[in-house]
Amino acid sequence: MIIAGNWKMNPSLALAGQLANALTVRSFEPVTRILFAPHPYLVPISVRLGGSDVRLGGQDCHQDLSGAHTGDVSAAMLRDCGASVVLLGHSERRANHGETSALIAAKAAQALAHDLDVMICLGETLDERRAGLAEQIVIDQLHASLPTNLPDGDDSLHGRVMIAYEPVWAIGTGEVASVDDIAAMHQAIASELPKSQNGHKAPLPILYGGSVNADNAKAIFAIDHVGGALVGGASLDATAFDSICELAVLQMSKS
Ligand code: PEP
């Protein structure tokens, strides 16, 4: 299971330091923890995380190697600042920055080429769900957002690409998708993912995101094909984040 915290543009540097320190207090192995920090904080946070098992990630990267892109950040820069993973295609970037799935695929290819693992976010809006289009929208996003160098049977990128299913209407709203809806969507995504050759490698993990907290995480983690959670608001509370990680450990001990 993977539990990833997405701080977005929220904490001050002082709060970020406190949260990072709290993450180093104990390990939650075999759960993998990832922290997506604001770009200016990557270096100081990587110092604080030190030798801990928490992986550090950027919240976006540019699709080009380098160049005249004022205000943007390259995959290589993230790597140089201590990140080993990058979050791509978050619905806030799709909505606020007009990011398309094709652009996200290009960013993913650039990140993978620079030794960053990627977490690609997918999710439907409330209107799309009400119109009965949720599954079609998410599966279309999946196919268009995956880097094209990830065909069936090519195991080289397995373990380097993670998917986060985040219904847009559940992000930051306190509203969580139902167990049945999460199960159906994760099953649909799992069946569309590139197959590992000979089944030797684990399938790409599919995280759920959208108002995950210490009260609802247990039920979410018990759903088939849920490989963890992408956590926004609750990642700004060290106690809540630890509790979610503990529930992931518990789920892993059962399966
Ligand atoms: C997110 O930022 O991806 C997210 C799911 O946020 P929240 O947990 O606050 O809904």
Ligand 1: atom nearest CA of 171 is: 10
In the predicted model, is pLDDT for residue 98 greater than 60? yes
Q: What torsion, rounded to 10 degrees, do the Cα atoms 171, 174, 179, 183 define? A: 10
Question: With respect to CATH, is domain 2-254 assigned 3.20.20.70?
Answer: yes
Nearest protein CA to atom 4 of ligand 1, as residue: 232
Question: Whole-model pTM?
Answer: 0.95
Closest atom, ligand 1, to C-alpha of 164:
3
How many angstroms separate the CA atoms of 69 and 60, rounded? 14
Domain locations along the chain: 2-254
| Dist. CA 107 → ligand 1 center (Å) | 21
Distance 90 CA to ligand 1 centre (A): 10
- For the CA of 166, the closest atom of ligand 1 is 5
> Beta partners for 165?
122, 208
Pairing of strands 2-6, 161-165: unpaired
**For ligand 1, which residues put their CB under 6 angstroms from it?**
6, 8, 166, 171-172, 209-212, 230-234
CA-nearest residue, atom 2 of ligand 1: 232
Q: Whose CA is nearest to atom 7 of ligand 1?
A: 232
Distance 91 CA to ligand 1 centre (A): 10
**For a substitution probing ligand 1, which of 87, 126, 207, 211 has the most ligand atoms within 8 Å of its CB?**
211
Active-site residues, by number, are 90, 166
Percentage of the chain lying above the pLDDT 90 cut: 87
Name the closest-CA residue to atom 1, ligand 1: 232
Between the CA of 213 and the centroid of ligand 1 the distance, in Å, is 10
pLDDT on residue 159? 80
Ligand 1, closest atom to CA 6?
2
What are the tens digits of pLDDT across the range 12-62? Answer: 999 999 999 999 999 999 999 999 999 999 999 999 999 899 999 999 999
Average pLDDT, the chain: 93
Strands (E), the chain: 2-6, 32-36, 55-58, 85-88, 117-122, 161-165, 206-209, 228-231
Express each pLDDT in 140-162 by its tens digit: 999 999 987 555 555 666 789 99
- For 190-235, how does the pLDDT look when each residue is reduced to its tens digit (9 = 90+)? 998 876 555 545 578 999 999 999 999 999 999 999 999 999 999 9
Which residue owns the Cα nearest ligand 1 atom 5? 210
Cis peptide before 30 (omega within 30 of 0): yes
pLDDT at 48: 97
Residue 50, number of CB atoms within 10 A of its CB: 9
Which two tokens mark 248?
Answer: 């992931």
Cα of 170 to ligand 1 centre, how many Å?
A: 8
